[in-house]
């Protein structure tokens, strides 16, 4: 009797464009493997329609949603309640409802840290600062995460003014470096993170000399399309530990799934393989 009355919970990822999102693969995998009655699909919503979509989320039968480009800032603005992380970033990638009120979190921060913890354990105890390349939305999440773990951050971006604005918002412990001075920033660094679109398929490669990095440094490229960027290849050939962008993609999905469907899902090798195969297929 109760199974007939069981509500099939419905969630989605909303963006514009949305066709290439891997989120449905991840959430459908968890729903199937956990034997839960639920659905998760992609919804294409244009910027002028996003506010109405968010307001009507419950009316349209959704228990929540992931939000991706270009709606993360608007999603933050329409929420009645946000987590401290989302408040610090001014951006929301996960929506859910509490007593009808729209709530938001930014799980990119936790996803980034979980991927590093899993794939490069001990990274945050190694001596040295972090170097972050880029100053867009992804860089904001990464810098916030690194400061949360107490890492000093040297930030370099093609457009220096954007890095300065990020550093001002982030507060103490973040220093802006000119891109041209990267070799000296890399000296003594324990972590290098690329958050720019350089290295992504269809974009120029990120061409920097990794020689100044110490041998214990970890190189993390949050680009996952392709799975192994030229930056990661260069780091591996120097014998450095590397972390690809797939881990962050997988781990950022878990908190939303738990809020909507009530079970904390695991990032398993099987799930990783499934997502990596999908990336390879579309390259």
Binding status of residue 20 toward ligand ATR by CB under 6 A: no
Closest CA to 279 of 100, 88, 25, 5: 25
Active site residue 72: yes
Among positions 157, 220, 229, 252, the unique one binding ligand ATR when judged by CB under 6 A: 157
State the minimum distance, in angstroms, from the CB of residue 261 to ligand ATR.
27
Between residues 55 and 201, which has the closer beta carbon with respect to ligand ATR? 201
Name the minimum Å distance from CB 157 to ligand ATR: 5
CB of 4 to ligand ATR, least distance (A): 44
Question: CA 23 to CA 249: how far, in whole Å?
Answer: 8
**Residue with CB nearest ligand ATR?**
136
Distance CA 166, CA 25 (A): 33
Which is nearest to 68 in space by CA: 146, 139, 25, 12? 12
> What angle do helix axes 269-282 and 23-34 make, rounded to 10 degrees?
150
Residue 238 CB partners (closer than 8 Å, separation 6+):
210, 211, 213
Total residues contacting ligand ATR (rule CB under 6 A)?
15
We find the least distance from the C-beta atom of residue 95 to ligand ATR, in angstroms, to be 18
User: Which member of 72, 81, 236, 281 is catalytic?
Assistant: 72
Alpha-carbon span 256 to 64, nearest angstrom:
8
Residue 166's φ and ψ, nearest 5 degrees, are -60, -45
Spatial separation of the C-alpha atoms in residues 1 and 193, rounded to whole Å: 52
Shortest gap between Cβ of 106 and ligand ATR (angstroms)? 12
Q: What string marks each residue from 196 to 225 as x (binds ligand ATR by CB under 6 A) or -?
A: xxx-----x---------------------
What residues numbered 106-135 form the site for ligand ATR, per CB under 6 A? 134-135
Per-residue string for binding with ligand ATR, 178-197, x by CB under 6 A? Answer: -----------------xxx
Residues 6+ apart with CB under 8 A from 48: none
- Rounded CA separation 83/5 (Å): 32
Show contacts with ligand ATR in window 162-181 (CB under 6 A): 162
Residue 90 DSSP SS3: coil
272 binds ligand ATR (CB under 6 A): no
When the beta carbons of 32 and 159 are compared against ligand ATR, the nearer one is 159
Q: Work out whether 23 is an interface residue with ligand ATR (CB under 6 A).
A: no
Nearer to ligand ATR, 15 or 256 (CB): 15
38 is a contact residue toward ligand ATR (CB under 6 A): no
User: Distances in Å between the alpha carbon of 83 and those of 35, 80, 105?
Assistant: 29, 11, 5
**Distance of alpha carbon 234 from alpha carbon 246, whole angstroms:** 18
Among 26, 79, 116, 138, indicate the residue that binds ligand ATR (CB under 6 A): 138
User: Which residues in this chain contact ligand ATR in the complex, by CB under 6 A?
Assistant: 134-139, 157-159, 162, 195-198, 204
- Which residues form the catalytic set? 72
């Amino acid at each position: 009797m109760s199974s007939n009355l069981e509500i099939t919970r419905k969630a989605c990822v909303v963006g514009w464009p949305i066709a290439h999102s891997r989120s449905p693969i991840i959430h459908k995998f968890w729903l199937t493997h956990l034997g839960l009655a639920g659905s998760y699909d992609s919804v294409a919503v244009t910027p002028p329609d996003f506010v109405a979509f968010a307001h009507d989320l419950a009316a349209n039968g959704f228990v929540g949603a992931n939000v991706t480009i270009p709606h993360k800032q608007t999603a933050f603005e329409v929420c009645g309640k946000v987590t401290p992380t989302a408040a610090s970033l001014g951006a929301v990638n996960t929506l859910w409802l509490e007593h009808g009120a729209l709530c938001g979190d930014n799980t990119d921060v936790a996803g980034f840290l979980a991927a590093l913890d899993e794939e490069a354990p001990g990274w945050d105890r190694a001596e040295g600062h972090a170097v972050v390349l880029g100053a867009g939305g992804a860089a904001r999440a990464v810098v916030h995460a690194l400061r949360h773990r107490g890492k000093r951050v040297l930030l370099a971006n093609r457009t220096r003014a954007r890095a300065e604005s990020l550093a001002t918002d982030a507060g103490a412990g973040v220093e802006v470096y000119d891109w041209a001075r990267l070799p000296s920033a890399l000296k003594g660094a324990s972590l290098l993170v690329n958050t720019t679109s350089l290295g992504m398929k269809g974009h120029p490669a990120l061409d920097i000399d990794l020689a100044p990095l110490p041998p214990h440094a970890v190189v993390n490229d949050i680009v996952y399309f392709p799975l192994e960027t030229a930056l990661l290849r260069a780091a591996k050939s120097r014998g450095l530990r590397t972390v690809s962008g797939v881990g962050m993609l997988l781990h950022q999905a878990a908190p939303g799934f738990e809020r909507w469907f009530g079970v904390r899902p695991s990032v398993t090798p099987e799930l990783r393989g499934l997502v990596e195969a999908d990336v390879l297929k579309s390259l």
